[in-house]
Amino acid sequence: MIEWVHRIKPRAYTAVLFDFDGTVSVIRQGWQDIMYSYAVEVLLAAPHAEDEEAVWRLVRDFVDELTGKQTIYQMIRLADEVLQRGGQPLDPLAYKHEYLRRLWDRIEHRVADLEAGRADPDDWMVPHTRQLLEALRSRGLTLYLASGTDEQYVKNEAAALGVTAYFDGGIYGALDDYQNFSKAQVIAKLIADNSVAGSELLGFGDGFVEIENVKEVGGTAVGVASDEEKRSGMDGWKRERLLKAGADVIVGDYREQETLLSGLLLERK
């Protein structure tokens, strides 16, 4: 299903920016639950924490709102919330390491199976991603990948999925020196590198931040409300967030990519 939110005219785009987790890869499927429950556990230990239900609501809200930015920002916010409730927060980096340790427990075997050839890469991607990447490249568009996940993981997982070569514009991820990376910075770079207008940028993402960033420069944003577990249909929660962020189009996956692309792209002569 394709939901055309805004009336858009096909354009001749130059560059396409992809988010990674939930937009291309579902290797990290389930990360939200791990982050929510870890943050709730940390917050409930603070002296003046609200009841569990209220803490869950708070955590879901700030985690989702910051999705697409680097993980460290969610952890900085967590430390802030602990402080506000009379607790002594850890360094946000320590929160991040513990979250990643819990997540890695869950996904380690997925990456290992892919690397060893025991798993089919297409089973760990949003349906029909590979065909979409191929279709965009065959039209001469330059593809960029930008993720809030640490860069070495993104590169590693993109390689395990066999999609590295599609991203001729480069693969960018979070750096330890976190002020030197943001999706907005990647967008600024790709606009400068290609000397294109922001309106020639097409973006795909399942998070709030990348949709906002693409819209801010005048580009077109496809919100991907992927259901990472079922790998079909749409995730209602993501859809709502993506609409709020200003997505022009919403899809659940790329099964109907021909219709999608013919509604988006003006064929170059």
Smaller CB separation from Mg ion, 173 or 219: 173
Q: Which residues from 70-129 bind Mg ion, rule CB under 5 A?
A: none
Helices (H), 139-226: 151-161, 183-193, 208-216
Cα–Cα distance, 29 to 214 (Å, whole number):
24
207 near Mg ion (CB under 5 A)? yes
Stretch that binds Mg ion, among 17-25, 32-40, 194-202, 233-241 (CB under 5 A): 17-25
C-beta of 186: minimal distance to Mg ion in Å? Answer: 14
C-alpha separations of 36 from 126, 154, 215 in Å: 23, 21, 28
Contact flag: residue 19 with Mg ion (CB under 5 A)? yes
Nearest approach, Cβ of 22 to Mg ion (angstroms)?
A: 4
> Tokens 């065909």 identify what position?
131
22 vs 219 by CB, closer to Mg ion: 22
Bridge-partner residues for 222, per DSSP? 204, 249
The identity of residue 116, as a single letter, is: A
Which residue, 71 or 220, is less far from Mg ion as judged by CB? 71
For residue 186, give every residue at least 6 positions away whose Cβ sits within 8 Å of its Cβ, in sequence order, or none: 17, 144, 146, 172
Closest separation in Å from C-beta 67 to Mg ion: 6
Nearer to Mg ion, 95 or 204 (CB): 204
Taking the complex as a whole, how short is the minimal distance between the CB of residue 71 and Mg ion, in angstroms? 11
From the CB of 144, what's the least distance to Mg ion, in Å?
14
Among 13, 14, 18, 22, binds Mg ion (CB under 5 A): 22
173 touches Mg ion by CB under 5 A: no
**Span from 15-23, 78-86, 121-129, 190-198 in contact with Mg ion (CB under 5 A):** 15-23
Among 65, 157, 206, 235, binds Mg ion (CB under 5 A): 206
SS3 content of the chain, % helix, strand, coil (to 5): 50, 15, 35
Quote the least distance from Cβ 21 to Mg ion, whole Å: 4
Question: What's the closest the beta carbon of residue 208 comes to Mg ion, in angstroms?
Answer: 10
Residue 64 binds Mg ion, judged by CB under 5 A: no
Candidates 34-42, 86-94, 203-211, 243-251: pick the segment binding Mg ion (CB under 5 A): 203-211
> Which residue type occupies 163?
V
Cα 224 to the center of its chain, rounded Å: 9
Alpha-carbon span 202 to 13, nearest angstrom: 7
What tokens were used for 193?
Answer: 């590198």
What is the identity of the amino acid at 120?
D
Contacts of 216 (CB under 8 A, 6+ apart): 184, 198
Cβ distance to Mg ion smaller for residue 21 or 253: 21
The answer to whether the Cα torsion of 72, 78, 81, 83 is positive or negative is negative
Binding site for Mg ion (CB under 5 A): 19, 21-22, 206-207
